[in-house]
Structure 1
């Protein structure tokens, strides 16, 4: 066991702590990727289940001041009302296939006096300062819409300035428009009657598992590699090789480091 005394040196203890920390970080990152995989699978199941279930009345899912539950996101709802075109809100910086554009959110006034926000789709524009006047108008008069329920975004990007925002938050938009709106918003699926100039439909999320499984395995592999490398260095040091800092160990190496004169003297004595 005396050959392993080097493990209690400060350098080796510090080295071991670094390896343990790196392995722990890799393990946690791998777990995070697998948790994201489970979340994605659950989301895909919800979307597929809601697609088969069909549309529910919007009042059954959304209400003023009510946060949309995670289990209700991507439910399909139906609403009937009149678009408030003058209160159109532009969602900036929405690119598709490298092309610049905006999403167009229009409040829909329902028959019960409430209002729901509808993202009618994407519109290509070269003008980064596009306004509601630059986008095609929705159908006039009473219209029936169906769409997917979405949860509000959060953070500074939800601020509404001059009729535009970077992310949709029903509360922030309602305050800016002076309207009481239903919590959450609707990604348009269809509207009847059809508009004269339709917008590009909403992009649905891909219903695959993504790269999370392989990313998780990669992180765990990196953690295992760090531990294996550390154990190999211990073995190499134990058998007289070079340690992690390039210092030669063992009697043979120490003899190799002796001055040439001492080696000759030792050889004559032999």
Structure 2
């Protein structure tokens, strides 16, 4: 067995640092996947807990607030009239690989406030060409008093919620839309499930959440396996180096080559002896 002094060489120090960094990154990525799994399980529990519960929209949504996490995906009802002039197009929404957009229309309630209703999805080749400020180019919403049933959703955040001059956005935020269109909106929005009377040209309703746990558990294990593999590889190569490393491998290759050459010489001697015996028998 050799010594461990080779570990102090620059090559092995850099190798060790690289393995430590790779292992740490793999650990963090695994933890991230398991945190996402916990979030998914928590969301699924909320959806299952709120299943079958239906309340008036004013019970869980209020002006200037947002839908509480415990109330998200609760079925809500509301009655009012669609404010078609303040329609907002949510760009770059795909379904089954097909490009499209969601159409969001404020529903004006009896108390003068409004609630944003995501009425659904429509297919379009270029959602950037659609404009909420041009509702005539969009499917008609039911006129007059409308009763809706849908699911309470919390607002999105970040720059994607910015509303353009043509009344389009990339994510729904009651705060951003309310400021852009000067509307008094309830916090959050509603994913439409049903509306009465129904639209003549209905949109594809927003999808309900899938209650599976996704791939996060196996992705987390996969990252941790990569980290463990990096550590194992380091110690295996270290063990190989201690046992002799390159010198030992060269010696083993030389010994194998010597055995092969010895076998070849032996075969040659046997062939020569056979030929000599055949030559002698012909002469006799």
Answer 1 or 2: which has greater helix percent. 2
Indicate the residue corresponding to 1:138 in structure 2: 141
Matches within 5 A, 1:65-144: 65-128=64-127, 129-131=129-131, 132-144=135-147
Shift of 1:8: 2.6
SS of match in other structure, 1:204: coil
Q: CA, structure 1 residues 31+144, in 2 after alignment: closer, same or farther (shift >3 Å)?
A: same
For structure 1, the 5+ residue unaligned runs are 243-247, 257-270
Does structure 2 retain, via aligned residues, the 8 Å contact 1:80–1:145? yes
- How many residues align structurally? 249
Would you say 1:227 and 2:231 are equivalent positions? yes
Q: Could you report, residue by residue, the CA deviation over 1:84-136 in whole angstroms, capped at 9, with x for unpaired residues?
A: 11111111122212322211100011111111100000112335312322222
Moved more, 180-189 or 126-135: 126-135
Q: CA, structure 1 residues 196+250, in 2 after alignment: closer, same or farther (shift >3 Å)?
A: closer
Q: Could you report, residue by residue, the CA deviation over 1:5-42 in whole angstroms, capped at 9, with x for unpaired residues?
A: 22233332222122111111111111111111111111
Moved more, 224-233 or 189-198: 189-198
Mapped to 2, the partners of 1:250 and 1:163 lie a distance apart of 71
TM-score (ref. length: structure 2): 0.82
Would you say 1:236 and 2:235 are equivalent positions? no
TM-score (ref. length: structure 1): 0.86
For structure 2, the 5+ residue unaligned runs are 256-284
Superposition CA RMSD, Å: 2.1
Mapped to 1, the partners of 2:83 and 2:160 lie a distance apart of 23
Residue 169 (structure 1) aligned to one of 155, 173, 183: 173
